[in-house]
Amino acid sequence: MSKHIIDDAKRCLQCKTPLCSKGCPINTPIKEAIQLLLDNKTADAGKLLFENNPLSLVCGHVCPQENQCEGHCVLGKKGSPVYISAIEQYISDYYLSIYKPAPSLKNRGKAAIIGSGPASLTIAFLLAQKNYDVTIYEGNDQTGGMLRYGIPEFRLPKSVIDRLVDIMVEMGVKIRPNTAIGTNLSIDDLFRDGFQAVFMGTGVWRPRRLNIKGESLGHVHFAVDYLRNPDVYRLGKSLIIIGAGNVAMDVARTALRHGCKDVLIVCNMDESAVTAHEHELRYARIDGARLELNKTAVEITDGGVIFADTEIYEDENGNRQARAVPYTGTLYPADSVIIAISQGPRSVVVSSTTGINVGESGLVSVDDSGHTSREGVFAGGDVVTGAKTVVDAVVVSRKVAAAMDEYITEKYGVQN
């Protein structure tokens, strides 16, 4: 074990009211887990974390801890907070290496899960633990959704996802890869074949466009597509990234690791509008990326991007917006351009199914428990909220899994 893990664990004050847990969206029992670790009960600590959050190891890698647990640690007010993420990673990694799941008895009902991102994986774990017969339908060849195809290896090793998938398979969860519900198969087919409830966790994979001239040129790409398989792209030496969220930082750091020498991230407002977490921006800069502010893309050319100065104004709702100042366009040369201004949901599942309402943005409409407007169909995660963090997906999924259990039990009873 790394020395700093023990040293940091010993720094924990075991606060009577732990602000670290209050700062965590899923109220991770941090002080209890740390005390168990120091008492040489690492397995018990891991069980505590896993039962609270099946994706605890994932969250230890990718959560914005500086805004959550570590950001609320009282030691951080005058010095350095306890390095909670590293402690959580160690405990959770150890626990998954010894965890032997009980196979699902599959006697409570039959549930289908569309997609295999963090929301879907959480619900699969929880329903399998309750002895449901669970099948996951994944449109790609591997399981993990945005965890696998949207987060770079240096932030979340693919081996972490593989371990979670292996555990689910041991529990009896069936996984059907390369199967996109809404094309050859529909939700109606799932109900026909005996599934009693369906969960939609299809995420947000449709990139948002700039809608400017040049967006269809051959050296222009979308961030969500690039991160799926960066090895197949030939970006050249210089890259411009339009957008300044966490995805843009992932693109920048990935591109620098794949041969780009000059990476420029461009935001259309000032630094207060940069939506990337502070540490993600810091890491991007450490890796060599540059940040340009207050520039709006007005056209993409074969030689780069024409950016204009930005004028900030408030719309009718009081929100800050950016628009280009006329006659201020300047060409910024680049070999390639990647657009990273968020994503929305693909509508193939909804468009192939009757009775599922969506909002103006295309996100699926649900009630507080994840019920859609169609009986027996639930939804959660990014396809409902838009892009959020992994821990946010886990929080919602615990509530949705309970609602699915209640729905099946009340309508079909417990099967034997």
pLDDT tens for 11-38 read: 999 999 999 999 999 999 999 999 999 9
The H or E element that residue 120 is part of is helix 118-129
pLDDT tens for 124-157 read: 999 999 999 999 999 999 999 999 999 999 999 9
Give the model's confidence band at 350: pLDDT under 50 very low, under 70 low, under 90 confident, else very high.
Answer: low
> What is the per-residue DSSP string for 165-196?
HHHHHHHT-EEE-S--BTTTB-HHHHHHTT-S
Q: Is the pLDDT of residue 85 over 60?
A: yes
Q: Is the pLDDT of residue 344 over 80?
A: no
Task: Of 110, 106, 96, 85, give the one whose Cα is nearest residue 34.
Answer: 85
What's the topology of domain 110-205+345-412?
FAD/NAD(P)-binding domain (3.50.50)
- Residue-level pLDDT at 129: 96
99 Cβ contact partners less than 8 Å away, ≥ 6 residues apart = 46, 50, 167
> pTM, whole model, 2 decimals?
0.91
SS3 for 393?
A: helix
- Residue-level pLDDT at 207: 85
Mean pLDDT of 80-101: 95
Which residues, listed in sequence order, are joined to residue 263 by a DSSP beta bridge?
Answer: 239
Give the model's confidence band at 385: pLDDT under 50 very low, under 70 low, under 90 confident, else very high.
Answer: confident
Give the model's confidence band at 354: pLDDT under 50 very low, under 70 low, under 90 confident, else very high.
Answer: confident
User: For the chain, what is the mean pLDDT?
Assistant: 92
- Residue-level pLDDT at 345: 72
pLDDT tens for 183-236 read: 889 999 999 999 999 999 988 778 889 999 999 999 999 999 999 999 999 999
Q: Is the separation of the CB atoms in 196 and 108 below 8 Å?
A: no
d(CA 90, CA 303) in angstroms, rounded, equals: 47
C-alpha distances in Å from residue 225, one per residue of 213, 340, 352: 20, 10, 24
- Residue-level pLDDT at 2: 60
Q: Which two tokens stand for residue 264?
A: 């420029």
- Residue-level pLDDT at 348: 63
What's the topology of domain 3-98?
Fumarate Reductase Iron-sulfur Protein; Chain B, domain 2 (1.10.1060)
Q: Is the pLDDT of residue 39 over 90?
A: yes
- Residue-level pLDDT at 69: 93
End-to-end CA distance of the chain: 46
Write down the domain spans for the chain.
3-98, 110-205+345-412, 207-343
Mean pLDDT of 337-354: 77
Is the CATH number 3.30.70.100 carried by domain 207-343? no
Give the model's confidence band at 3: pLDDT under 50 very low, under 70 low, under 90 confident, else very high.
Answer: low
d(CA 119, CA 201) in angstroms, rounded, equals: 6
Percent of the chain with pLDDT over 70: 97
